[in-house]
Structures are given as C-alpha cells and as structure tokens.
Amino acid sequence: MESPFKPNILKGKVALLTGGGSGIGYEISAQLGKHGALIAIMGRRKHVLDSAVSALRSMGIQAIGLEGDVRKREDAVRVLESTITQFGKLDILVNAAAGNFLVPAEDLSTNGFRTVIDIDSVGTFTMCHEALKYLKKGGLGKDQSSGGLIINISVTFHYTAAWYQIHVSAAKAAVDSITRSLALEWGTDYDIRVNGIAPGPIEDTAGISKLAPGEIISRSKDSDPLYKVGEKWDVAMAALYLASDAGKYINGATLVVDGGSWLFKPRHLSKEAVKQFSRAVEKRSRDTPVGIPKSKL
C-alpha cells in the first residue's frame, strides 16, 4: 500500500530498531527508511540481519546490521556506540525485540517466564537507559533543539486477560509502565517523547504463526466480529505517525493497532431486546410525574 506520508518526513533522522530484521520490526525499519531515516537494526541472528540489510539497501535505504542481545547490557552499549560511529547521532529508538510462545500457566517454568521478562521488559529498559545520553536534548551538542523519540512495541493481552500468555501479559504490562514513566521523567527533563504501539494479530509474522494457527483465526472470526488480521504496514504507519511532526504532541501514549478487537465482548442481550426494554422504561418515565414516587400514586 502507498504511504500517506511525504517521503522526506524523516530526512536526516537516525533510527535504531531492536528486532528490526524480521516481522513487524523489519516493516517499521523499511518504512522509516523509505521516509528518509538512516537505519540501524539490532538482532541476535546474523543471517537474518544480513538478509534484512540487503533488502533495505536494495530499496535505496542506508542501513546497517548490528549483532546483539537486548538482555546483555554490554551488547546494548556496543550497538549504540556502533550506531553513533556510523551515523553520528541517534534520533529514534524502536524496541521491537520480543519473546513469545503459547503455554498454560501451570506448565510454564520459572526460567521460561524469566526469559520473556528479560527480553521484553528488562531489554526494553536497558536499551532506553543506555540510549538516553544520545537521545536527550543537548546530548550530542548544545544546538540540538529537542530530544529524541522512543517507541516501545507492546500488546493488548494485559488490558483484560489472555489464555496461555501470562508471561507476555506480565512483560508487556511492565513495558507499558516503562513507557509512561519515562515519558513523564524524560519528557520533562530532556524533551524525549516515549510512546508505545500495541498491535493486534498481524499477518505474516512469527506471532501469528506461533499464537494463532489458521483454525484459531477462523474460530476467532466467528466468535468475535471485531477480530481482524492486520498488516505489518498498519503498525509501521503508526510508528511513522509518532515519529513525524504529526505526533510531536503525543507523549506517554500506547496506540492500539488491532481494529478494535480487544474491546469485543459477547452481547448479553440482543439489540431488539434492549430496544424493547428501553421503550418500556421510557414509557414508565412518561407516565410517572416527576418528583412523585411511584408507590405514592
């Protein structure tokens, strides 16, 4: 699909994306790059990074791949330093690295729970913490007019509850809290905006293949009319909005990009039954004089 944004809205900006070599992270990398940003992607698998960088460069995007694990502070420091060495500054940090799998709570090991917390929550904080000196106002020179931007990729599971996702729900609830707290502190002190994006089910991603096989999607569509499978482009456009001047007054928000699916709950009354009930209540109200209890009539 064609972007509604001008192609140069991020000209000269430098973006570092964890998990930027595949899935939603790659699409955000590509769209930021297509709109003028210089791209650094961080990931653990060299072959994925090499493939992603090659694809980005084939689109005319200046991109580099940097091996690293967000769970390791030394990797975060090294990747950030390499980004600065290559591009001279950092304007945008996108935390898209994540771990996930379906598992009943009673079968989830402590190590499995901790792994997801370490990648999603601790990894997000570590990258933000180490990037602060590059993102904050004045961090790269006194002529810098404003601070940078952080976008944390979240989910909606913890808004209510989700089957077999206790580890991810806990981890992303922490990510949302990190987003709000840093938006308050760093927005006030350094003019850094910190926002999040909570995607719904997105086609052609590891998440959809791991968490929602075809038969589950079919059942979900039948039971939840709002359930729609989105595109990676949808999430990337939300990231572009936040990164552009159109989003300059947005701080501490997490944009839900799921077609409204998280809002759905089954009707407990049909629409016609509600209309009949409402008409009956309205009739009783008309027939009862204001201020006189019905029991006194």
Q: 239 versus 264: which is more confidently predicted?
A: 239
The CATH class for the domain spanning 14-263 reads: alpha beta
Distance CA 107, CA 211 (A): 16
CB-neighbour burial class of residue 84 (10 A; exposed 0-12, middle 13-18, buried 19+): middle
CA 154 to centroid of chain Cα atoms:
4
Strands of 254-257's sheet in order across: 63-67, 38-43, 14-18, 92-95, 149-153, 193-199, 254-257
Q: Does 144 have pLDDT greater than 60?
A: no
CB-neighbour burial class of residue 172 (10 A; exposed 0-12, middle 13-18, buried 19+): buried
pTM of the model: 0.87
Q: Does 211 have pLDDT greater than 70?
A: no
pLDDT tens-digit profile of 35-70? Answer: 999 999 999 999 999 999 999 999 999 999 999 999
Identify the H or E element spanning 42. Answer: strand 38-43
CA nearest to 77, candidates 38, 148, 127 = 127
With vertex at residue 274, the alpha carbon angle to CA 273 and CA 280, rounded to the nearest 5 degrees, is 90
Q: 262 versus 235: which is more confidently predicted?
A: 235
The encoded tokens of residue 214 equal 């075809």
Distance CA 23, CA 97 (A): 10
pLDDT tens-digit profile of 89-127? Answer: 999 999 999 998 999 999 999 999 999 999 999 999 999
Unique residue bearing structure tokens 């060495």? 85
Mean pLDDT of 175-179: 98
Lowest mean pLDDT among 44-58, 67-81, 191-205, 254-268: 254-268
Q: Does 141 have pLDDT greater than 70?
A: no
pLDDT tens-digit profile of 269-287? Answer: 888 887 887 887 777 777 7
